[in-house]
Amino acid sequence: MSGARLTDLVAGLPATVPFVGPEAQQRTSGRTFRARLGANESVFGPSPRAVAAMAAAASDAWMYGDSESHDLRAALAAHHGVTPAHIAVGEGIDGLLGNLVRLVVAPGDRVVTSAGAYPTFNYHVAGFGGDLVRVPFAGVHEDIEALLHAAPGAKLLYLSNPDNPMASWHPAAVIEAMLDRVPDGTLLVLDEAYADFAPAGAIPEINADDPRVIRLRTFSKAHGLAGARVGYAIAAPGLVAAFDRIRNHFGMTRMSQAGALAALHDTGWLAQVVTQVAEGRARLAAIAAENGLAALPSATNFVAIDCGRDGDFARAVLRELIARDVFVRMPGVAPLDRCIRVSVGRPPDLDVFAEVLPQALAAALTQR
Amino acid sequence: MSGARLTDLVAGLPATVPFVGPEAQQRTSGRTFRARLGANESVFGPSPRAVAAMAAAASDAWMYGDSESHDLRAALAAHHGVTPAHIAVGEGIDGLLGNLVRLVVAPGDRVVTSAGAYPTFNYHVAGFGGDLVRVPFAGVHEDIEALLHAAPGAKLLYLSNPDNPMASWHPAAVIEAMLDRVPDGTLLVLDEAYADFAPAGAIPEINADDPRVIRLRTFSKAHGLAGARVGYAIAAPGLVAAFDRIRNHFGMTRMSQAGALAALHDTGWLAQVVTQVAEGRARLAAIAAENGLAALPSATNFVAIDCGRDGDFARAVLRELIARDVFVRMPGVAPLDRCIRVSVGRPPDLDVFAEVLPQALAAALTQR
């Protein structure tokens, strides 16, 4: 009667999850969020052409999706000026990160990231037994010198540019210079989930045949398709081919492939979303300023607002925002956790935030 | 400049994939299948209510799907008379099998299955370094005595009931008696993908709290949602909770969750599909008989047709069917590979098969 015996590795993993979703929070509270500004989703929605493509694909859902995501990979290759052999498609960057870690990280292997960077990457590293080394941010930036200093012997070196959760960015030239200093045997994992929002000069030119780096992109942010789970990697063909040895070959749904393909082609929609996001960032900065707080410069669809005190205070602000039905999140590590992280919303969403933030700040102050 | 170094385990994995999809076959041939009868998809399509639910969800695709698949798990729990804590939802049975193997199988751990049973399970076992032991079928049935004989020391013991690829089944009482003989420390993986098509008395009653077994179900077959990738497991809460330690938490798309929920509630659609499948099985048996071949009894939405000679002959028949634009598959291991495996189609699909089979048989005979 003993049943399954988990592997020693799995038995040692915590039961915690990287993120609790907003639906789960709503079920716990019994309330509904007035503004959903916590997961850096695109409140502006997907392209209507993507919606139509997904609706049309629904009738064909009796057929497994194309296991090679051929049409989507071909379109992405054309978009980036590479070949389909340079493109791996997966169930969001989350899914790709999990498979990447599995490909490269054996138990005990060293992996380097920044303290406070993407928790789901850390979750996957722990899940495959990697030895995760975290280096502090330098101010609001991931610290490239410190990352490189820690890199020797590491299998993976994670960097997000633009950064999550601080919304900062490094110029392309800095990333390109960093790449030349990545040690032999280390793969740079360049998470560019927010690339579509970045200012000119932030996204590096990298030869897709360069074996030292894998770039990760997603349809979850600017394309507004978080719920369709489509991410992709750009890397040298040898590494891309390795994903085929372990991935869930029919894991990309027919609707998701169709939606992403249509979204990629609707460049007009993407452009207006990027414009609206820029306007929303300015509005968030203004709201912060009205409350005596500083919004950090942002190259993403969210803004980190420095609450001006310590992590306990920012956590109190966050709690009070959520208690007032505004879904936001915040960095998990000091000193970044002096900030809350607010996704750009439509004007009505930001009206709610503007209404509630002073109340949340006042309530948090009474808890000092 | 060395880039990623794959783990020793991954470096030793073959580049082959368990299944080449029909779209990939079409791209290679430059032709379009007239009848798509190879992947045991439901040509009858999903419930119109599921299609409508997915189309409606497409507009909300900017939001990540509920990471807990709460509504779907609640509905499945009610359907099966268990609690949501007994239900794990994943990206098809394929995705769940991958995560299950990861939870339980460390490199070198013994796993037992039948020679010729589901290749994707074997792929996952290899992918996590398991030591896979295959026992022969007994005729057209998975050999329960042989499986139990090989089971001591195994972490997982795989059985499909009804069986894929032979479409046979064991009575519920046989499975229930088998469960009582599963060794301590071994988990029975009971793949019930085709349960909806099974005759009365084939599906066992199992206490969902029984730690010795995990049952796997899917929306890809009778519910016609292969392209939405929704599978689920029924198991004891401790094992279900373990999936949360490793899964891609936001991996279930919003459309897939909505479609599966609607499909589950459309019991009328399911019933008429099951009826049409039974009619199609009879038609396939008649077509086989007209060609002097024997169709095996089927508890699934496909029929194994014994081509009456050896594997080379059946492979020739398969090749000639595909050359005539009929997508079918066949078992990969002798002696099962004397058969081809034909999914039930609509009457026009089966008309095509009836037209082409005699030609394919004649062409295969000339290759003797």
- Residues in chain B with CB shorter than 8 Å from the CB of A98 are 248
CA distances from A239 to A86, A87, A212, B174, B290 (A): 9, 10, 10, 46, 50
In a domain, A69, yes or no: yes
Give the contacts of A214 (CB within 8 A, at least 6 positions apart).
A100, A187, A188, A189, A190, A233, A234, A235, A239, B4
- Estimate to the nearest angstrom the gap between the alpha carbon of A298 and the chain centroid: 14
Are the C-beta atoms of B255 and B54 separated by less than 8 Å?
A: yes
Q: Find the CATH number of the domain harbouring B81.
A: 3.40.640.10
Say if B195 falls within a structural domain. Answer: yes
Mind listing the pLDDT tens digit for each residue in B191-242? 999 999 999 999 999 999 999 999 999 999 999 999 999 999 999 999 999 9
Does the pLDDT value for residue A14 go beyond 80?
yes
CATH of the domain at A312: 3.90.1150.10
Q: In this complex, do B21 and A66 lie within 8 Å of one another by their Cβ atoms?
A: yes
Task: At B230, list the tokens.
Answer: 């929704």
Shared domain check, A292 and A160: no
Q: Which two tokens stand for residue A271?
A: 């452009």
Within the 150-169 window of chain A, which residues sit less than 8 Å (CB to CB) from chain B? 155
Q: Best residue in B64, B230, B329, B343 to probe A by mutation, most A CBs within 10 Å?
A: B64
Q: pLDDT digit string (tens) for A135-187?
A: 999 999 999 999 999 999 999 999 999 999 999 999 999 999 999 999 999 99
A311-328: per-residue pLDDT in tens? 999 999 999 999 999 999
- pLDDT at residue number A4: 78
> Which structure tokens are listed for A333?
């590590």
* Burial grade of A85 (CB within 10 A; 0-12, 13-18, 19 or more): middle
Q: Is the pLDDT of residue B1 over 60?
A: no
Q: Residue written as tokens 């041939």?
A: B29
Write out pLDDT tens, residues B303-341. 999 999 999 999 999 999 999 999 999 999 999 999 999
CA distances, A34 to each of A63, A304, A317, A321, A352 (Å): 38, 20, 17, 11, 7
Whole-number pLDDT of residue B334:
96
- For B291, residues 6+ apart whose C-beta sits below 8 A from its C-beta are B357, B358, B361
Tell whether the model's pLDDT for residue B296 goes beyond 50: yes
How far is residue B40's CA from residue B332's CA, in Å, rounded to a whole number?
16
Task: Give the span between the Cα atoms of A271 and B14, in whole angstroms.
Answer: 43
Residue A13 lies in a domain: no
- Whether B256 sits inside 8 A of A259 (CB atoms) is no
Same-domain status, B184 and B321: no
Question: Which residues, in sequence order, are CB contacts of B173 under 8 Å at separation 6+?
Answer: B201, B204
Q: What is the DSSP secondary-structure string of A36-76?
A: E-SS---TT---HHHHHHHHHHHTTTTSPPPTT-HHHHHHH
Are A28 and A73 members of one domain? no
The count of domains in chain B is 2
pLDDT for residue A345: 97
pLDDT for residue B11 is more than 60: yes
Q: Which of B213, B239, B265 is the last residue of a domain?
A: B265
pLDDT score of B16: 87
Pairwise CA distance, residues B333 & B136, whole Å = 9
Average pLDDT, chain B: 97
Nearest to B123 by CA among B153, B143, B147, B102: B102
Residue A1 has what pLDDT?
45
Do the domain assignments include residue A5?
Answer: no
* CA closest to B27 among chain A residues: A70
Enter the tokens of residue B336. 């099962």
Inside any domain, residue A306: yes
Residue pLDDT, tens place only, A285-295: 999 999 999 99
pLDDT of A51 above 80: yes
Task: Find the CB nearest B255 among A10, A246, A255.
Answer: A255
Which B residues 68-107 touch A at CB under 8 Å? 68, 70, 91-92, 94-95, 98, 102-106
> Does residue B135 form part of some domain?
yes
Please say which residue of B243, B265, B287 terminates a domain: B265
Cβ proximity of B354 and B288 under 8 Å: no
Same domain? For A272 and A238 the reply is no
Question: What is the C-alpha separation between B227 and B23, in angstroms, rounded?
Answer: 13
Residue A345: phi and psi, rounded to 5, are -120, 180
Task: Compute chain A's Rg from CA coordinates.
Answer: 21
Q: Is A296 helix (H, G, I), strand (E, B) or coil?
A: coil
Handedness of CA A319, A325, A327, A328 (dihedral sign): negative
Cα B21 from Cα B42, distance rounded (Å): 15
Question: Which of A1, A248, A261, A329 to mutate: most B Cβ within 10 Å?
Answer: A248
Our CA-based measurement puts residue B291 at a distance from the nearest CA of chain A, in whole angstroms, of 29
| Any B CB within 8 A of A173 CB | no
Question: Do the domain assignments include residue B6?
Answer: no
B contacts of A17 (beta carbons < 8 Å): 67, 244, 249
Residues of B in contact with A207 (CB under 8 A): none
Residue spans of alpha helices (H) in chain A = 8-11, 22-29, 48-58, 70-80, 92-104, 119-127, 144-150, 172-179, 237-243, 254-265, 267-290, 311-323, 347-365
Q: Are residues A254 and A239 part of one domain?
A: yes
Sequence letter at residue A76: L
Q: Which of A196, A188, A184, A187 is nearest to A223 (CA)?
A: A196
Which domain covers residue A166, as residue numbers? 48-265
Whether residues A71 and A207 fall in one domain: yes
Query: Are the Cβ atoms of B45 and A62 closer than 8 angstroms?
Result: yes
State both tokens at B338. 């004397």
Tell whether the model's pLDDT for residue B92 goes beyond 50: yes
Nearest CA to CA, how far is B284 from chain A (Å)? 20
Mean pLDDT calculated for residue range A105-128: 98
pLDDT at position A346: 97
Tell me what percent of the residues of chain B surpass a pLDDT of 70: 99
What are the tens digits of pLDDT across the range A181-225?
999 999 999 999 999 999 999 999 999 999 999 999 999 999 999
- The H or E element spanning position A308 is none
Rounded Cα distance between A215 and B347, Å, is 48
Task: Please name which of A270, A208, A252 lies closest in space to residue A233, comparing C-alpha atoms.
Answer: A208
Same domain as A85, residue A132: yes
Q: Pick the last residue of a domain from B230, B265, B300.
A: B265
pLDDT over threshold 60, residue B102: yes
Domain shared by B258 and B278, yes or no: no
Q: What is the mean pLDDT of chain A?
A: 97
Task: Show the 3-state SS of chain B.
Answer: CCCCCCCHHHHCCCCCCCCCCHHHHHHHHCCCCCEECCCCCCCCCCCHHHHHHHHHHHCCCCCCCCCCCHHHHHHHHHHHCCCHHHEEEECHHHHHHHHHHHHHCCCCCEEEEECCCCHHHHHHHHHCCCEEEEECCECCECCHHHHHHHCCCEEEEEEECCCCCCCCCCCHHHHHHHHCCCCCCCEEEEECCCHHHCCCCCCCCCCCCCCCEEEEEECCCCCCCHHHCCEEEECCHHHHHHHCCCCCCCCCCHHHHHHHHHHHHCHHHHHHHHHHHHHHHHHHHHHHHHCCCEECCCCCCEEEEECCCCHHHHHHHHHHHHHCCEECECCCCCCHHHEEEEECCCHHHHHHHHHHHHHHHHHHHCCC
How far apart are alpha carbons A330 and A317 in whole angstroms? 10
CA distance A102 to B6: 9
Q: Is beta strand B339-343 parallel, antiparallel or unpaired with respect to B302-306?
A: antiparallel
Kindly state whether residues A253 and A343 are assigned to the same domain.
no
Asked if the structure places residue A54 within a domain, the reply is yes
Number of neighbours of residue B277 by Cβ within 10 angstroms:
25
- Which chain B residues are within 8 Å of A27, Cβ to Cβ? 70
**Nearest CB to B229; choose among A14, A244, A253:** A253
Considering only CA atoms, which of A34, A33, A167, A94 is closest in space to residue B67? A94
Please tell me the predicted confidence (pLDDT) of residue B138: 98
A69 with A198, same domain: the answer is: yes
Query: Could you read off the pLDDT of B137-170 as tens digits, one per residue?
Result: 999 999 999 999 999 999 999 999 999 999 999 9
- Phi, psi at residue B186, to the nearest 5°? -105, 135
Rounded-to-integer distance, Cα A320 and Cα A314, Å: 10
Asked if A146 and A177 sit in the same domain, the reply is yes
Question: Does residue A162 sit in the same domain as residue A151?
Answer: yes
Q: b/e map of B187-210 (b: 16 or more CB within 10 Å)?
A: bbbbbbbbbbbbeeebbbebebeb
Phi, psi torsion values for A218, nearest 5 degrees: -150, 155
B368 touches chain A (CB under 8 A): no
Which residue from A205, A192, A99 is spatially nearest to B4, judged by alpha carbons? A99
Confidence of residue A2 (pLDDT cuts 50, 70, 90): low
Tell me if chain A has a CB within 8 Å of the CB of B57: yes
Helix (H) or strand (E) holding A169: none
